[in-house]
Chains A and B, each alone.
Chain A
Amino acid sequence: SYALTQPPSVSVAPGKTARITCGGNNIGSKGVHWYQQKPGQAPVLVINYDNDRPSGIPERISGTNSGNTATLTISRVEAGDEADYYCQVWHGISDPSVVFGGGTKLTVL
């Protein structure tokens, strides 16, 4: 089965840049989606198909995907960015599945 690996936690000072990675075998060949989840709330899509921002998501949030690593980048980090972030792909053809990464807790220092 296919697995996505994320660091459990990332810490960053306000105003700095946070980078959250998502590792998977040849993930660059897949479309990667990123979700933000704050405590007690449902997830919210922040990036779809590697680097596309849904309406309402600030330009500070961006994504890249190449080789075996996808990366979510949050520039000029604010206190309100503190949340859990999950990457997600669609995998397989004959018996496809949705795969989520284990999630990364972003802490704003």
Chain B
Amino acid sequence: QVQLVESGGGVVQPGRSLRLSCAASGFTFKSYAMHWVRQAPGKGLEWVAVITYDGGKKYSADSVKGRFTISRDNSKSTLYLQMDTLRPEDTALYYCARVQGGTTSGNIDLWGQGTLVTVS
């Protein structure tokens, strides 16, 4: 079935690194732009980064710029988020999400269940 499954979360000390993965299945991954969106415990949604269908363009939130890198491997139908120099305020549930249509500016029509990152 159509789904996104995140992995790679865990507990990490401040200043360390972590790489999240998101495995896509049931659809043509290489045709879609993809986001990472996070949600701190008890808080709202916060956009992290987006990547075009071919990986040619990437945009990220100011709060993670220079520390987090979004990437993808279309041959493996997998999205990644490399998180460096982690801070306690990066603690959150990280969602992988698909953009409807072929551009980066559309709505999100598919979400994973998230992977929890705790920086402490």
Residue numbers of A with Cβ under 8 A of B are 1, 31, 33, 35, 37, 42-45, 48-49, 54, 84, 86, 88, 90, 95-103
The number of residue pairs between A and B whose CB atoms lie closer than 8 Å in the complex comes to 57
Q: Is the CB of A100 within 8 A of B45?
A: yes
Given A33-B108, A45-B108, A103:B44 Cβ within 8 A = yes
The count of residues in chain B whose C-beta lies closer than 8 Å to any C-beta of chain A is 22
Bound complex: CA of A10 vs CA of B118, how far in Å? 31
Chain A, Cβ-Cβ closest to B113 = A42
The answer to whether A35 touches B104, judged by C-beta atoms less than 8 angstroms apart, is: no
Residues 101-120 of chain B, each 1 if its beta carbon lies under 8 Å from chain A, else 0? 00011111101111000000
Quick check: is B95 within 8 A (CB to CB) of the other chain? yes
B95 to A42, Cβ gap below 8 A? Answer: yes
Q: Give the chain A neighbours of B104 by CB distance below 8 A.
A: 90, 96
21 sample A-B contacts, Cβ–Cβ < 8 Å, listed by A number: A31-B105, A31-B107, A35-B45, A42-B95, A42-B111, A42-B112, A42-B113, A42-B114, A43-B95, A44-B111, A45-B107, A48-B100, A48-B109, A86-B45, A88-B45, A90-B106, A96-B59, A96-B104, A97-B47, A100-B45, A101-B44
Q: Is B50's CB within 8 Å of the partner chain A?
A: yes
Residue of B nearest to A99 (CB): B47
Residue among A42, A44, A100, A103 having the largest count of chain B Cβ atoms under 10 Å: A42
Task: Say yes or no: A103 contacts B114, CB within 8 Å.
Answer: no
Q: Considering the chains assembled together, what is the distance between the CA atoms of A84 and B44 in angstroms?
A: 9
Give the residue name and chain of the A residue nearest to B65 (CB).
A95
B61–A33 CB distance below 8 A: no
Q: Determine the chain A residues whose CB is within 8 A of the CB of B44 once the complex forms.
A: 84, 86, 100-103
Instruction: With A45-B108, A97-B47 given, name 5 new contacts (CB 8 A).
Output: A44-B111, A45-B109, A98-B37, A100-B37, A103-B44
